[in-house]
Structure 1
């Protein structure tokens, strides 16, 4: 339990200090809300920022943050607000103090200077009140891969090698930075196979607050880690490991020796104090491995955190049986909470009611408006799980990203409500669809294939046109895996 804060004492401590906006903090505007982002000061904060990239703020919070310019004391800020708005509220001092405490200690938005700053520090703002400019993007520099994973959502069957050049990647990073993006996930394919992988990280480093790398870890070596050590304060590695059982992992990933190479890469990063998360893909064949794999990741590999997810029936995953567990179903089989208690803060899982609360209070996951994906051929799509033949916004080789995300389809995706237990309580597929527009679209494609009508969710959100487009352009040749 957290200690109670005495805000009167805290105010006395900070009243003559100078609140100042931290480096990397941005105010980002969307048509329907305003958010603030920050640079993570440590590994734990980095994971929190990576998982929940922005904090929504109201006009009062914006006003306060703008006053944290390094040239006013806390007391002057309180007086400024009181005089500016003509407020006669005895609790104003405590309210502002509480806000400043949270801005400093919870979100790392501000710091306190003992003396006045030499120059005023202004709060940087990005985004637009007319259009949805993403704060997060996924970059797939190559579709090359050194594994043959049974569940791969991208590489299903034969494929032609595709790759973005370093100049194209730099231009993408610059464009996204100018639009307000501050979190990038570099994936693939296997992103470390791109010949300029370390240069990509080096270039993104001063332009992004968090650099996520999603990899199988097999290509990580001492030379690479040495080159990337200067950037580890922003790097977050998510490395796939599907079991502590070598034979199972190698079989699932399709290459003998994959387990040992992946573990070598993980240990090398952990040894150099990089922020590493082990990510486990769950099927009915390895669900009993979770407990031992958690122990292995914590005690042997020495990683910072562990996460798991179910396989989705897309790409090669469509050929797997007994997949698609919900988080609730996993928790019914394996008591992961026990391991959350055993290793505090280590296991990422949804606490009871937390997932439901998130789904009920968020219109959707941000697909296509808060986040976009830029593929190795330059195509821009809304989600890593959505094939470009399903929904394709445009191509960076033909259009500027700003023009691509201004398209009407982005606004339409923003307004689609994701399925929830509340909105779909009478549907037998709610555990599969909830929280994911893509899965719900897939479920409705199956309904159309069977000659059934669209579900109530699809009808309410007018997604039939999307489904028809997907059905015509993708499922006719089964490239979507459905």
Structure 2
């Protein structure tokens, strides 16, 4: 595999300009005139300016002495669309069979490489700087290596969501250490082999998970772990937290089960009632305006939950995203029983998620304070 072509990314991001180092979530804000300076220096092959060499040394311990701007920095063009973040579901297929999964039927379906290549260029042109690659299990997709490599080489900061089952394989490790993601996020489904394997419906899943974690830690990949608590593994919740803390400083816990993205109720049966807790009020989000989700067929939606009125990016191109903000605004409007509700200001659930709960026939106590 060829080596990456840049050490730093300089890019507009919403109303700011950032300098980023692939493989690190840390960034440096710069003024607009510094961004314009670097665009010109990169085009002419001039040496790196002293202020950028100093910033790279402070921020990432990089020694960039005697390097030209053109060979070191990838300078991204401004985008009129302003979508700084995106999630791309590479393929909904998965090698595990978790009963809490929000993807429902996990079919191995996705775009052919030529179409996927076009899609990644569209996302770049939309302004996407931070890209999450997920699934399903993205690393088992046949075009994952090319997808990841192109996203990286186009100047995107890449995070992968993975179950960890392939992280120990040499070709995956080589890919992720040659072109480092800024984050690798895995989910913890149990602290023992028996619980983990039963949860995933796959014998040997726990051994592959731990082997992948060990390989990723040894390679110095930036790990983030999500502890997922359901009725199947609630008895191991403390041990799951301890396991996660041994591998990652960034640990999150998820205990509220949701319907599938198509509104099926099956995952709700996995809820551990004793782990339901009060959530913070939903005060709005900028999904659809500054971020978006793309499904395995290149259909862009407001987010993973709000998938109505998808935009076919391969047909309409980046210009189609100009409609996404209006779609998002309509999706967030309260309607039906929520319209005029006196508890709206303290409601913890966005309207698209309420719609999924209703479609699944969920009891009110899962999503509504009036319960």
Please give the TM-score of this superposition, normalised by the length of structure 1.
0.58
SS at 1:205's partner residue?
helix
**C-alpha distance in structure 1 between counterparts of 2:206 and 2:99, whole Å:** 15
Contact 2:177–2:221 (CA<8 Å) still a contact in 1? no
Q: Kindly provide the CA deviation profile for residues 423-465 of structure 1, in whole angstroms up to 9, marking residues without a partner as x.
A: x9953995641xx442244467689x99xxxx9xxxxxxxxxx
Q: Is the 8 A contact 2:9 2:75 kept in 1?
A: no
Question: How far does the alpha carbon of each residue in 1:156-201 deviate from its partner, in whole angstroms, 9 at most, with x for none?
Answer: 4xx6542211222221111211221112111112111211222222
8 A contact 2:168–2:215 mirrored in 1: yes
Q: Check the 8 A contact 2:86/2:292 in 1, yes or no.
A: yes
What does residue 406 of structure 1 align with? 322
Q: Distance in 1 between matches of 2:358 and 2:96?
A: 32
Instruction: Provide the residue aligned with 1:368 in structure 2.
Output: 288
Aligned counterpart in structure 2 of residue 215 of structure 1, from 162, 167, 179? 162
Partner residue, 1:393: 310
CA contact (8 A) 1:241 1:259 kept: no
Deviations 1:273-331 (CA, angstroms, capped at 9, x unpaired): 112222221235545534322322333xx3453222234321232333446966757xx
Shift of 1:66: 4.8
- In the alignment, structure 1 segments of 5+ residues that lack a partner are 1-21, 72-99, 330-354, 456-482
1:138 matches 2:76: no
Deviation at 1:41? 6.3
Pairwise CA distance, 1:403: 2.5
State the distance in 1 between where 2:17 and 2:333 align: 24
Aligned alpha-carbon RMSD (Å) = 4.4
Distance in 1 between residues matched to 2:75 and 2:168, nearest whole Å: 40
Structure 1 position 319 matched with structure 2 position 239 = no
Matched, 1:282 2:234: no
Relative to structure 1, the CA distance from residue 118 to residue 170 in structure 2 (aligned partners, 3 Å threshold; closer, same or farther) is: closer
- How far did residue 214 of structure 1 move? 0.7
Distance 1:122 1:198 in 2: 21
Aligned to 1:3: none
Measured after TM superposition, the shift of residue 149 of structure 1 is: 0.9
Partner of 1:438: 352
Give CA deviations for 1:73-120 in whole Å, capped at 9, x if unaligned.
xxxxxxxxxxxxxxxxxxxxxxxxxxx99x959x969x999999889x
- Provide the C-alpha distance between the structure 2 equivalents of 1:418 and 1:325, rounded to a whole number of angstroms: 29
Contact 1:324–1:432 (CA under 8 A) maintained in structure 2: no
Provide TM-score, normalisation by structure 2.
Answer: 0.73
C-alpha contact 1:212 1:236 (8 A) present in aligned 2 = yes
- Asked if the contact 1:298–1:304 (Cα under 8 Å) also holds between the matched residues in 2, the reply is yes
Higher relative contact order (CA 8 A, sep 6+): 2
Instruction: Tell me, yes or no, if the aligned pair for 1:198 and 1:227 is still in contact at 8 Å.
Output: no
Q: Which has the larger radius of gyration?
A: 1
Aligned 8 A contact 1:198 1:228 in 2: yes
Partner of 1:127: 79
- Structure 1 equivalent of residue 10 of structure 2: 25
